Chains A and B, each alone.
Chain A
């Protein structure tokens, strides 16, 4: 890991040492802005830090570890859209505000799936609407905003229908919109994958610690090989997915989608086992392990389903081989 990425990670862990530290949504939003996260992916010429996608990838993992509330991932997509749209009037001010933490939301679904999972739509003033024909910032005043309460309580999701006469700032149209949309879907998948791996790491550590302290049959549970082997398998799955994640931050959209599907499956697998490892206490609402289980399941469905991405990846394998 580069010195820069190590520093990003260290700083994140100082501010959010564990998942509890981030649970106050307003406070953690301000802390993220203060850490410079919203400036990270914006080029220096536009007042940002000019970091690359693989640096952002570190931030996404930290967000997952902290089980970060709020619309931060949507914010990263909005920022990226603004960076990629040079000719938009008023862009600099929009960027400046967004870097300082003015929330712009967007749906955490891939472009074709509509505005059905929009975090914090009730408090944001604008929504980034992405489709193959147009990418635009749309005002939320007068929009029909319907809460979509999820089992995962860390993200407040809504479905959104903007008002027909809502103010619109087009960022891209035609072929440019299609390309930008693909790029943003790719970033969404990267973000969800990172979130999954950070969450999986946190919940695996929680489970292994628990197995080490809980005693039954006159010994720590962690001494039972039946449990050790399952923990080791989870570790292998997590490390393997992490290697893929780190290697694919610049990958093509399809590869990012398939990677997201893979990483989210690993998060689900780790969280599912973590609850089992805890026994009865794992089913207790005061005990945090379920929080990760719920986020894991939600992550899996955001950004395109595993079925969708795996099928596309399978198609691509066939295509690659018939072309060669």
Chain B
């Protein structure tokens, strides 16, 4: 830990003490949640903490990974709201624009993201989940535009998004990956309609997007026609690492809530409960240490294929265990339907937290898909033959 690091830590602590919203947990409507997200993001942008992972030419960018870690550690420690609404814009859209887009696209969109333009990711479809390359939304080129029709699903915050990272099919020939094309779609275009999806815990974090003959200018394409799969990989790779470190630290901070639950249940002297609590606390520490080690490996350019999957799986399983213990401790009281805290995975509203934990076992490549990656690409266990379809066909 260097002196500069210490100084940064102090600086951000002081700033959080002055500026961080305190009442965000009480937001009881989507409108209030969105408003508080927008104002918190604007504050972070103003102070230079919103996009530490962006390059130096952007305000607040150019931070080393060590500095980024400090910023996220402190934001987590102080229990500030997670940046849910601008997550896709600052990570996924940014990575896509930075790595794959034209200079013109970059200079057009990046400043707007800092001004608060929000993005969503339109990849998944009813028929294309884990098997993302099976996408069927069709884009047909007509002159200067692609005409797109189809349906996207599970698109986080799409109902509030200005822009969409859209993966579509431009060709049905050859391997299914080869026919995909990547577009940047304005959500206000005619033919786009969005329907929020009601989730089991009472939130509406994601939405369906219906596309009916939407005309998207060809200039909105990222990469070549047919190169969408490679661009999508850049998008998907962007959310690992810091995010999981932040989430792990938040879970550790929230051990408090489990303590409260033990007290509330009057079980502070129950050895069985204490054992579960202690074992879980150690597991949470281990997940934090793992996320730290992962970031260190990134800093040292020592990351192996599968490392990111290990961190995601370790976190998602631990979050499930964390919420399960809360549900168990809260007993009947935990079954009472209580209003949810938007954007919080560790709220202490145990049934809601438990149901929310599925977000991390399913989204961004499910646990099962991560296990495949670890087994096949890290442990060298052979892939299954791909001949199921040919065998099954009459």
Chain A contacts to B: CB under 8 angstroms:
208, 211-212, 219-220, 222-223, 225, 227-229, 231-233, 235-236, 239-241, 243-244, 246-248, 255, 258-259, 261-262, 265, 306-307, 309-318, 320-322, 324
Give the residues in chain B near A225, CB-CB below 8 Å: 372, 384
Q: Which of B255, B293, B376, B384 contacts A246 (CB 8 A)?
A: B293
Q: Shortest distance in angstroms between B382's beta carbon and chain A's nearest beta carbon?
A: 5
Question: Is B225 an interface residue, CB under 8 A from the partner?
Answer: no
**Does A223 contact B383, Cβ atoms closer than 8 Å?**
yes
**Does A243 contact B292, Cβ atoms closer than 8 Å?**
yes
**Does B282 contact A235, Cβ atoms closer than 8 Å?**
no
Could you pull out 13 A-B pairs where Cβ atoms are within 8 angstroms? Answer: A223-B383, A228-B372, A228-B376, A232-B313, A232-B374, A236-B314, A243-B289, A244-B285, A247-B289, A310-B275, A315-B274, A318-B274, A320-B259
**Does A310 contact B287, Cβ atoms closer than 8 Å?**
no
Q: Which of A212, A229, A320 contacts B382 (CB 8 A)?
A: A212
Give the residues in chain B near A309, CB-CB below 8 Å: 278
Please indicate which of the listed interface residues B273, B285, B314 has the most CB atoms of chain A within 10 Å of its own CB. Answer: B285
- Minimal Cβ-Cβ distance residue in A for B270: A314
Q: Shortest distance in angstroms between A314's beta carbon and chain B's nearest beta carbon?
A: 3
What is the CA–CA distance of A307 and B272 in the complex, to the nearest angstrom?
9
With A222-B382, A314-B277 known to touch, is A240 a contact of B282 (CB < 8 Å)? Answer: no
What is the CA–CA distance of A246 and B82 in the complex, to the nearest angstrom?
29
**Does B278 contact A313, Cβ atoms closer than 8 Å?**
yes
Question: Is B258 an interface residue, CB under 8 A from the partner?
Answer: yes
Q: Shortest distance in angstroms between A311's beta carbon and chain B's nearest beta carbon?
A: 5
Number of interface residues of B (CB under 8 A): 44
Q: Shortest distance in angstroms between B374's beta carbon and chain A's nearest beta carbon?
A: 4
What is the CA–CA distance of A324 and B384 in the complex, to the nearest angstrom?
52
**Does B278 contact A311, Cβ atoms closer than 8 Å?**
yes
- Minimal Cβ-Cβ distance residue in A for B383: A223
**20 extra interface residue pairs, beta carbon distance < 8 Å, beyond A223-B382, A261-B279:** A222-B375, A228-B379, A229-B368, A231-B381, A232-B374, A236-B310, A236-B314, A239-B290, A240-B290, A244-B290, A247-B293, A248-B285, A258-B278, A258-B279, A259-B282, A307-B275, A313-B278, A316-B281, A317-B259, A318-B259
Q: Among residues 21 to 78 in chain B, which have CB atoms less than 8 Å away from a CB atom of chain A?
A: none
With A317-B277, A318-B262 known to touch, is A228 a contact of B282 (CB < 8 Å)? Answer: no
**Does A313 contact B282, Cβ atoms closer than 8 Å?**
yes
**Does B255 contact A314, Cβ atoms closer than 8 Å?**
no
Give the residues in chain B near A314, CB-CB below 8 Å: 273-279, 281
What is the CA–CA distance of A316 and B282 in the complex, to the nearest angstrom?
11
- Minimal Cβ-Cβ distance residue in A for B258: A317
Question: Is B271 an interface residue, CB under 8 A from the partner?
Answer: yes
Q: Shortest distance in angstroms between B101's beta carbon and chain A's nearest beta carbon?
A: 34
Q: Which of A208, A231, A244, A318 contacts B289 (CB 8 A)?
A: A244
**Does A243 contact B375, Cβ atoms closer than 8 Å?**
no
What is the CA–CA distance of A321 and B310 in the complex, to the nearest angstrom?
30
What is the CA–CA distance of A321 and B273 in the complex, to the nearest angstrom?
16
